[in-house]
Structure formats: C-alpha cells, structure tokens
Structure 1
Amino acid sequence: MAGLVLLVAVGKALALPVLIPPLAASAALVLAAPALPLAQPRSVVGGQLVSALVGFAALAVGGSSLWTAAVAGGLAIGAMATARTPHSPAAATSVIVVLTQPPALRFLGLLALATVLLVLVGILAGRSGRTARYPAYWW
C-alpha cells in the first residue's frame, strides 16, 4: 500500500497522474513476490518503458482504437521477451497508451519515476526484515 500511496502523493505534488492501474499489479509483484523474475528491477522498469514505447508506436501507426490496443498489448509481450524485461502488468500499459493517448514525453517520464519509486519501496521493504530481500538480482 505504501508504494501506491507514494505514487498518489507524488502525483498530487506534481499535479499529474502518476498512478496508473498496471502499477498496482507491478507493486503486487515487487512486494508480494519479490523473488520472481517478473518482479526484478530490470523487468519492472524496463518492461513498463518498453511496453509504453510499443504503445506509442502502435498509436502512431494504427491510431487510437480497441483493435490497435489489442495489437499493442500483444506486441508489448514480444518486445519485453526480446528485451529480456518480462513484466506481465506492463502489457496493460501499452493498451492504456493506445486508448488514452497521453503526451509521450510526459507519460514516459512519469512512468520511469513511478517504476523507480516502486523499486525503491521494494528495496526498503526487503531491508525491513518483514518481507523477502529485494531485489533478488539487478540485471
């Protein structure tokens, strides 16, 4: 909960949305399953950013539609596999990009900030001794 509340607080301070639905699933992986490959920092940050870029590319080619969103979600899964940054919640980020058409640079910056904050919360939780040590590995 702390990680998600932190994203809301940062969003309020910036007057910009920082919490998007896929990040709740990312937080669940980081904090409830910190040893999984999908929860490691490379996958959380990289997977989200790769998927967002796929979403923006799909949006540029196919426009904002449910069809394009579906294609973007599928392509994001392939792109994450190719980049070795598997993170299942991130596929939804590509769908959100296509359907909401956010400003690219602002969205990517906020997404990078949000994922780094979630990783930092995971590190702090892992150091508290109340959860498994996080991350299991960095790269």
Structure 2
Amino acid sequence: MTSPPSAATRPSLPHLLRVTAFAIGALMLLVTVGVVLHQPLLIPPLAASAALVHSAPGQPLAQPRNLVGGHLLSAVIGFATLAVAGSSGWSAAVAAGLSLGGMMLTHLNHSPATATAVIVVLQAPDPSTFLPLLALGSCLLVAIGLLPGRIGAHPVRYPVSW
C-alpha cells in the first residue's frame, strides 16, 4: 500500500532562504521607516501580510488591492466600532467580524486585516496618524513584494493582479 502524496510539497532550500530573506527585509524596512518617523510602523497584521506576499504571492489574499484595501477598510470599520461601542474585547471581536464581512462584500479579502480592526478597537490610535501610517506600511510591503519576481528569485511574479 502506498501512502497518498503530500498535500504540500516542501520548498527547495534556496527558495526558502530567499523568501525568508525578503520577508525579513520587508519587515526591517517597516521598522526603519517607523524609527525615522518616530512612529510604530511594524504592527502584527502587517507581518502576517508580509508572510502572505512572500510565501504565497499568487494567492488572491496577497494581491495589492486586497492587502492595502483590506487593511484600510478594516481600520475604518475598527474606528467606527470604537466610536459606537468603545474599547473592549467584545467590541474588538465585533470589529473583526464586521471587517471580515466588509472585506468579503467589497472583494478586498485579506485575512490579516481583521487583526487591524482589533488593534484599532483595543488601542484606540489617532486615526489621522494611524491611517496614513497603515497605508504607507501596506504600500511598502507591496513594493518589496515586487522585487523577488523581477530579479528571478520567485517562481510566481507578484502581483498576479492589481
């Protein structure tokens, strides 16, 4: 009796090292820009977004429109939830669910962005600062995501669609 084929094949060591290096580079760029701006730019949802861009560049969730749009939509939903329900674990859970529904409705599916709504509700950042920084961080991830496919370091050229 033979065993069924593995659902996921292991990446080659060179591919694994390239993906890891580009993800680290992208996240270090967020930290560097954050230090220069004296604002935190590396937030957990953006780290998850970088993982998608570099490990699954062909997937719809990783595409620029979904990454940038999903984070911004989820942040706006988070701020609206914060305004209506205040800052609590309960309202953060509602914001995450609403952001998922909003992303599905607008075809901006990017699962890490649900955590952006949670961060907004739990930390109540200033929207005039948070939203531009979130847009900047998201766009930088897209920009760095463009590099591997253009220098021959990734089998899938990112993005597949805008």
Instruction: Give the TM-score, by structure 1 length.
Output: 0.98
The aligned residue for residue 117 of structure 2 is: 94
Identity within the alignment, %: 59
Q: 2:41 aligns with which of 18, 25, 41?
A: 18
The structural deviation recorded for 1:82 is 1.0
The aligned residue for residue 57 of structure 1 is: 80
Cα root mean square deviation, aligned: 0.5
Query: Does 2:117 align with 1:117?
Result: no
The structural deviation recorded for 1:23 is 0.5
Alignment partners' CA distance in 1, 2:76 and 2:148: 30
The structural deviation recorded for 1:124 is 1.2
Higher helix share: 1
Query: What amino acid does structure 1 have at the position aligned with 2:82?
Result: L
Query: What amino acid does structure 2 have at the position aligned with 1:111?
Result: L
The structural deviation recorded for 1:77 is 0.1
Displaced runs of 4+ in structure 1, greater than 4 A? none
Per-residue Cα deviation, 1:55-95 (whole angstroms, up to 9, x for no partner)? 00000000000000000000000000111100000000000
Query: Does 2:31 align with 1:3?
Result: no
Alignment of 1:24-43 (within 5 A): 24-43=47-66
The structural deviation recorded for 1:105 is 1.4
Query: What amino acid does structure 2 have at the position aligned with 1:53?
Result: V
Per-residue Cα deviation, 1:81-134 (whole angstroms, up to 9, x for no partner)? 111100000000000000000000110000000000000000012212111210
The aligned residue for residue 103 of structure 1 is: 126
Instruction: Give the TM-score, by structure 2 length.
Output: 0.84
Alignment partners' CA distance in 2, 1:125 and 1:110: 24
Q: How many residues align?
A: 138
The aligned residue for residue 16 of structure 2 is: none
Larger radius of gyration: 2
Residue aligned with 1:17, SS: coil
Residue aligned with 1:88, SS: coil
Name structure 2 gaps, 5 residues minimum. 1-23
The structural deviation recorded for 1:32 is 0.7
